[in-house]
A and B are shown apart, each in its own frame.
Chain A
């Protein structure tokens, strides 16, 4: 499995220039702008990881990987572990940059709030990736894009209908139970959704015809 992760990381290295541009953009916006761009780097991990799927698809890597020992399983496992690694790296970079910007501008920083924001970013990123990966493993990047749009569109419609039937204030009241435990809730939820997503992707990959 380590080999598969090394492959993903080697491919991601090719995106370092884009990442550098984004870091510079974040720094400029942070130092001279008013808009908080802290979401940009964790979300960048989505684009980075999708590019690894695209490169794999272009070269029929998944078929080739299936000829390796435990190739099908390890290719999925490695993709999720690399995702976690990239999200964490991006988060750390964002925190360091936020601290640097605050220090440079002599602004006080609410560490607790920054930490919570970061966890929310991690959860959001993990949620999007957990949703996208099984679809991409099943249909590939090209067909997967259409499927993702179909699912998002369907979710919006179902969500709209749901909100018109159910009293949303009750749900918000229920979420209030977690008020003092948000960090834990966000961490556990992120891990749980990624794990469930991994199991679904693995199922698709094991049944896939190459």
Chain B
């Protein structure tokens, strides 16, 4: 499968934090959920991909092109929504339409205005009168209206109520109907990702912990809940991490089938992305 985005050995050092050899691939026609706790490196990775930070090493390719050498060409085909970065609040969607016509060659005013109608966003009201949900929808609609092939979205659904989130997710699903288009989506709301993501990439403390298809992850990974006696029988290499609770152990395992066979366990809980994140971050080996 052809990759629309390839990230290799991305390194970036700050005083208190660093990205360490971050790498993953996003195939065409797919949605990748990019997860990790606050400060894990999601936004820094996204900024490096977009080449809006400097002094990082590694390679980023989009559409087979280098993100620094072919930056301008690449950016015509990218739509970005970044957390708390947008147009001034004193502008209206009508202003944004006029402005974006002068920025993107492929800006589609008809598409933009149709989206505005679809999401009941008033054309002539200044952004500061919009609710957070309306504002977020406007940001997403703006990112979509120049026919990008890759959407890069940093927390696009944060702060939205369930109805608004559902509407936004529907937009992403429509966007992905074109097999040439992909989405890289960082989010804390893992239930949304379980609904739409094809791939999950998990970053922790600046390092990629895993990057797999969502189906693979949710089907193969599991949580074994057991007492101390049973836990001690488990070989260290057969689990990823465990967390000791008041009365039991939560043990994160990578292969439910093999584990069942080896330890004759009948019940292994299905994993959610939330469980995965908690156990990977808080659990011990």
Contacts and interface: CB of A to CB of B under 8 A. Distances in A.
Interface of A: 1-7, 10-11, 14, 55-56, 58-61, 63-64, 66-71, 74, 207-210
A67 B82 contact: yes
Interface stretch (B31-39, B46-54, B170-178, B242-250): B46-54
Nearest to B94: A10
Contacts of B88: 7, 11, 55-56, 58-59, 61
Contacts of B54: 207-209
Nearest to B92: A10
B239 to A, nearest CB: 40
Contacts of B84: 59-60
Interface string B252-282: 0000000000000000000000000000000
Contacts, number: 89
Interface core residue of A11, A66, A67 (most chain B CB under 10 Å): A67
A7 B92 CA distance: 11
Interface residues of B, number: 30
A64 B85 contact: yes
Task: Determine chain A's interface SS by DSSP, over half rule.
Answer: helix
A49 to B, nearest CB: 14
Given A3-B99, A3-B101, A3-B103, A63 B85 contact: yes
Contact of B53 (A1, A68, A210): A210
Given A59-B85, A60-B84, A10 B99 contact: yes
B150 to A, nearest CB: 12
9 contacts: A3-B100, A6-B98, A10-B95, A10-B99, A60-B85, A64-B86, A67-B50, A67-B78, A74-B103
Contacts of A68: 75, 103-104
A209 B95 CA distance: 27
